Amino acid sequence: MEFKSFLVKYGEIGVKGKNRFKFEDALIHQIRLALRKTGADYEIVREHGRIYVDMEDGYDYEDTVDALKRVFGLVTICPVVRFAEKDFEAVKRAAVEYMKQVYGDRKMTFKVFTRRIDKSYPGTSETISADLGEVILNGCPNLKVDVKNPEIPLHVEIRNEGVSIYSISIPGPGGMPVGTNGRAMLLLSGGIDSPVAGYMIAKRGVLIEAVYFHAPPYTSERAKQKVVELAKLVSRYAGPVNLHIVNFTDIQLYIYEKCPHEELTIIMRRYMMRIAEMIARKNGSKALITGESIGQVASQTVDSLVSTNEVCTMPVFRPLIGFDKLEIIERSEQIGTYETSIEPYEDCCTIFVAKHPVTHPDAERIRKSEESLGERINELVQEAVRTKERILCEM
Ligand code: ATP
Ligand code: MG
């Protein structure tokens, strides 16, 4: 069967009244962004709280379904047959034809579910379902009715504008449409964790921006390209991502010169958070996102997290906080970032890592060490923010 239309469904819990329009507008905007990449022509039609995507001839089914499967907020994607002819004889013919084309002569069970949205249509949903069940049984000897647990739930919707028939439900990613829950700044490194963290927050409807701290020549151009690539991969779900690339070299070298080396990682992380927050504030982001998880590395013990958190005034979202590494890897494989994340380019922390970094930083000592950086560090921070590069990442 060649489908020309998709009925896309979203979870309705908590989307009532005025919010519903905002939610649907954002959802449609994201569907358009996702479909733009397929190059297909289409029209989006809203009817009685239903959203249909009507495709023009020559579109690619697989590409379209793949794109829709990445739109947060979509719970199910149903390829649907839509037609204007509402005469019941025509509906019967269409239902039989649908079953033949989609299921061929496979032995299966079905049940008809009718929604009579057009209240002037003759009959009740029960009588319509019963009548359609009967003509399908007559027309398709391979099919049987099972009212308790049908393999094929055949949905027939009699609308004011016409009739819809569908039985296939492809799971969408769930979540909320990007843009319905504000904006946040993701600290994106080249690792496995932060792209997954960005994905998870975007899934809750948050528009994400990203910042990467680059330390040339200690970190290579290839390492930076890898982060650009990861931002693009995340953008397949999150929509176009503005990636800010901050040159962190002078700050790192300066901290290296002035502070005890075992405190380097933690102090560097504190400066990353401070700078991320400065950029976030300028761009309307209201929270930070990191890929931290308790105990994963020395800079992620509870004491270290307390220390890096201390310098932020914005909330820091750490969606992976309770995840094991293996669970994070599994997610990164699912969303398609893993292969890129494991490419072996050094990230900016590895070069300056001390042999025995502090794992339980003492707040007072860290603050003392930072005092030794004096006014100069603020100049370096200002300079780093002023000279940052910005790349719009999309694919
Ligand atoms: P990831 O897999 O995300 O790189 P990681 O296990 O390497 O994480 P850390 O290096 O301790 O962990 O970093 C913790 C978090 O700090 C990262 O998840 C990321 O959000 C942020 N971060 C670390 N390095 C950078 C960087 N160079 N640029 C931007 N953010 C960074
Ligand atoms: Mg890292």
In tens, the pLDDT along 294-338 reads: 988 777 899 999 999 999 999 999 999 999 999 999 999 999 999
The residue whose CA has the least distance to atom 13 of ligand 1 is 292
Q: How far is the CA of 181 from the centre of ligand 1 (A)?
A: 24
pLDDT in tens, 202-213: 999 999 999 999
- 1 — pLDDT class (breaks 50, 70, 90): confident
pLDDT in tens, 264-281: 999 999 999 999 999 999
Point out the ligand nearest to the CA of residue 357: 1
Q: Within a 10 A sphere around the Cβ of 160, how many other Cβ atoms?
A: 12
pLDDT in tens, 4-40: 999 999 986 667 777 888 899 999 999 999 999 899 9
Q: Is the CB of 338 under 6 A from ligand 1?
A: no
Q: Is the CB of 249 under 6 A from ligand 1?
A: no
Q: Where do the DSSP E strands lie in the chain?
A: 5-10, 42-47, 50-55, 74-83, 108-116, 143-145, 152-158, 163-166, 170-171, 183-187, 207-214, 241-247, 288-289, 316-317, 389-393
The half-sphere exposure of 34 on its side-chain side, counting CA atoms within 13 A, is 25
**348 has a pLDDT exceeding 60:** no
- Name the nearest CA neighbour of 179 among 206, 208, 197: 206
pLDDT in tens, 176-194: 999 999 999 999 999 999 9
Q: Which pLDDT score is estimated for 344?
A: 86
Point out the ligand nearest to the CA of residue 291: 1
Q: Which pLDDT score is estimated for 236?
A: 95
Q: Is the CB of 179 under 6 A from ligand 1?
A: no
Q: Is the CB of 192 under 6 A from ligand 1?
A: yes
365 and 263 in contact (C-beta within 8 Å)? yes
Q: Is the CB of 292 under 6 A from ligand 1?
A: yes
Q: How far is the CA of 339 from the centre of ligand 1 (A)?
A: 17
Q: Which atom of ligand 1 is nearest to the CA of 246?
A: 28
Q: Which of 125-129, 208-212, 339-343, 353-357 has the lowest mean pLDDT?
A: 353-357
Q: Which position has the token pair 């929270």? A: 287
Point out the ligand nearest to the CA of residue 353: 1
Q: Specify the amino acid at residue 61.
A: Y
Q: Is the CB of 309 under 6 A from ligand 1?
A: no
Q: Is the CB of 212 under 6 A from ligand 1?
A: yes
Q: How far is the CA of 272 from the centre of ligand 1 (A)?
A: 10
136 and 91 in contact (C-beta within 8 Å)? no
Point out the ligand nearest to the CA of residue 341: 1
Mean pLDDT (the chain, rounded): 94
Q: Is the CB of 263 under 6 A from ligand 1?
A: no
pLDDT in tens, 111-149: 999 999 999 999 999 999 999 999 999 999 999 999 999
The residue whose CA has the least distance to atom 2 of ligand 1 is 191
* Sequence-distant contacts of 83-86: CB under 8 A, at least 24 apart: 83/162, 83/163, 84/161, 84/162, 84/163, 85/162, 85/163, 86/118, 86/121, 86/158, 86/162, 86/163
Q: Which pLDDT score is estimated for 279?
A: 98
Q: Which pLDDT score is estimated for 295?
A: 87
Q: How far is the CA of 290 from the centre of ligand 1 (A)?
A: 7
Q: How far is the CA of 349 from the centre of ligand 1 (A)?
A: 8
Q: Which pLDDT score is estimated for 346?
A: 67
- 199 — pLDDT class (breaks 50, 70, 90): very high
Q: Is the CB of 80 under 6 A from ligand 1?
A: no
Q: Is the CB of 248 under 6 A from ligand 1?
A: no
Q: Is the CB of 108 under 6 A from ligand 1?
A: no
The domains of the chain, with CATH numbers, are 5-171 (3.30.2130.30), 183-393 (3.40.50.620)
Give percent of the chain with pLDDT exceeding 90.
87
Point out the ligand nearest to the CA of residue 328: 1
Q: Which of 186, 187, 288 to mutate to test the pocket of ligand 1 (most atoms within 8 A of CB)?
A: 187
Q: Which pLDDT score is estimated for 14?
A: 62
Point out the ligand nearest to the CA of residue 268: 1
Q: Is the CB of 194 under 6 A from ligand 1?
A: yes
Length of the chain: 395
Protein residues near ligand 2, an ion, with CB under 5 A: 189, 191, 347
- Name the nearest CA neighbour of 262 among 353, 324, 200, 333: 353
